[in-house]
Amino acid sequence: MAKRILIVGGVAGGASAAARLRRLDENATIVLFERGPDVSFANCGLPYYLGGEIKERGKLLVQTPQKLAANLNLDVRVRFEVIAILRDKKVIQVRNLQTNVIYEEAYDTLILAPGAAPIIPPIPGIEKPGIFSLRNLVDTDRIHNWVQNQQGKKAVVVGGGFIGLEMAEQLKIRGLEVALIQRSGQVLDPFDPEMITPIHEELIAKGIDLRLNRQVVRFEDASSNSKALKVVLDDGSSIEADVVILGIGVKPESHLASDAKLEVNARGAIKVNDYLCTSDPCIYAIGDAIEVTDPITRNQTQVPLAGPANRQGRIVADNIAGRPTRYRGTLGTAILRIFDYTTACTGANAKTLSKAGITFKTVYLHPNSHAGYYPGAHPISLKVLFSPKDGKILGAQAVGKDGADKRIDVIAASIHHGGTMDDLVDYELCYAPPFGSAKDPVNLAGMVIQNNMNHLVEIIHWSEVEARVQRGSKLLDVREPKEFEAGMIPGALNISLGQLRARLNEIDLSTDWIVYCQSGQRSYNACRILSQHGYKCCNLSGAYKTYSAATGISK
């Protein structure tokens, strides 16, 4: 007997599940419900359409209901809202939003892919016209039309996460003045603070009015006739704007599940097992609305990303079709372009590992994106976190103008398979001068970790320097004098690497030395020289580049 499979939600996860199910089962009845007017649209592309980089709105429509019906024999019902699940009867209640008629549909298997909704905080005045969040094409059209009709010149973006930064960039590209309000001291919370300094600098350099450690306390009507709104901040300052975009975050849209007494966590995310089945064996859940396992900490979390949602759609279809497949968790691999910079991450950051009580060590390095002698090479700031027990890779973050994406992708694949420092060293990666180096940054990261694990060099970090100096350690800068004069750590002795062997007599043998250069490679070589001559020394990981970014010292 043919299965009857109903799917609630027709974007990333829901559409992927429907397509995979049809390819696995030609006879099943598959009905896809979407309360909006569009299915299978590229929601990650919405900011780029608003900024004008994507010229045609239709390019955002990956599939239309008509194409899904014709190509995959799916029953696609847009503008139909599922309002209740009656588990005892194995039916759902559906409202036709065009006629307001409510009816019931029976299922053998139900898939919930409702996604996540933007967080709308209870800020006074937040209901005023001109304040928007961005979730779908309807929101996109509203923002686009508002900015056009208002002949907008100035925007305020509230929230410095991925969507907030994408919107800030794209509104600036569109020609608006943009202010970005972030309640914490950094944008992009998945990154550790010292890695984000180049992004703060890039935002400011491109003309974004960046307000860190600030909160919106209310929205008022603008005093100026030419502006729509006044955004009042907690320090008493205010910004007048034509449009406000809320990018504060999202919450699981799981009321259907909770109303049906399916298990949800404290934040409302739907609980599923390794096969993406809910507490009801006939109901599966996927996408932004579910709780997933963090493969590093083994804790439960929520990760609203399109890639995992699509994979979950495929996996749940396999399970329904009798091909048991486990979902192995979500690393949270993510990437973002901010004007001329790319920032990417995978796995756990230092904050997450510390909170989970996991012991870890860190290395920083700043290799070029490709061979330095080939034109156009740019440095990548790379941070890799690893286990001091076995060198297992726990997470990584990269920021740079070129090459951050593929390095994080390689490390993400390594983490997924339980990779260690030795794997990073051994990977055979593409090399030609325009694309990489004979020793790729991924290989170099593994080598740096190996050197530390094999006790060839002790490494310390920017956050330890002050305490070490207070305990009597001294600083040795092995850069060239011109580099030293352009910016240095106060109190450092400057002896360039090339002169080090000839000037060992100037270095106190009884002192512990913190050695640094610009990026960490020359200082590693200096440490090897010093240690073999009986000196006590350690290498400052990431060297002056990381130290200056983390401390704000003049470069």
Residues 344 and 394 in one domain: yes
Residues 140 and 178 in one domain: yes
- Whole-number pLDDT of residue 161: 96
Assigned domain for 122 exists? no
What percent of the chain has pLDDT above 90?
A: 94
Assigned domain for 325 exists? no
Q: Which of 434, 453, 472 is the last residue of a domain?
A: 453
Q: If 0-12 CB within 10 Å is exposed, 13-18 middle and 19+ buried, where does residue 265 land? A: middle
Q: Which of 247, 272, 289 is the last residue of a domain?
A: 247
Q: Which of 225, 247, 269 is the last residue of a domain?
A: 247
Residues 255 and 113 in one domain: yes
Rg (Cα) of the chain, in Å, rounded?
27
CATH number for 503: 3.40.250.10
Catalytic residues, by residue number, are 44
Assigned domain for 328 exists? no
Residues 33 and 96 in one domain: yes
| Tally of domains in the chain | 4
- Whole-number pLDDT of residue 151: 85
* Rama region for 261: left / alpha / beta (φ>0; ψ in -120 to 50; rest): left
Assigned domain for 81 exists? yes
Residues 162 and 236 in one domain: yes
| Per-state percent for the chain, helix, strand, coil, to nearest 5 | 30, 25, 40
Angle subtended at Cα 250 by Cα 240 and Cα 42, rounded to the nearest 5 degrees: 95
Q: How many CB atoms lie within 10 A of CB 490?
A: 7
CB 333 within 8 A of CB 365: no
- Give the whole-angstrom CA distance, residue 113 versus residue 99: 24
Residues 520 and 477 in one domain: yes
Residues 445 and 467 in one domain: no
Q: What is the mean pLDDT of each run of 10 residues along the chain (555 residues)?
A: 93 95 97 93 93 93 88 96 98 98 98 96 96 94 92 94 97 97 96 96 98 97 82 96 95 97 96 98 98 97 94 98 97 97 98 97 97 96 97 98 97 98 97 96 97 95 96 98 96 98 96 97 97 97 96 70
Assigned domain for 306 exists? yes
CB 382 within 8 A of CB 364: yes
* Domain interval for residue 185: 131-247
- Whole-number pLDDT of residue 376: 95
Assigned domain for 123 exists? no
Residues 479 and 491 in one domain: yes
- Whole-number pLDDT of residue 2: 85
C-beta contacts of 238-242 below 8 A and 24+ residues apart:
239/154, 239/156, 239/179, 239/209, 240/154, 241/130, 241/154, 241/155, 241/156, 241/179, 242/130, 242/147, 242/150, 242/151, 242/152, 242/153, 242/154, 242/155, 242/176
Residues 142 and 175 in one domain: yes
Residues 216 and 154 in one domain: yes
- Whole-number pLDDT of residue 223: 81
Assigned domain for 437 exists? yes
Assigned domain for 404 exists? yes
Q: How many CB atoms lie within 10 A of CB 230?
A: 19
CATH number for 398: 3.50.50.60
Residues 194 and 232 in one domain: yes
Q: H helices of 128-248, where?
A: 137-150, 162-174, 193-205
Residues 30 and 102 in one domain: yes
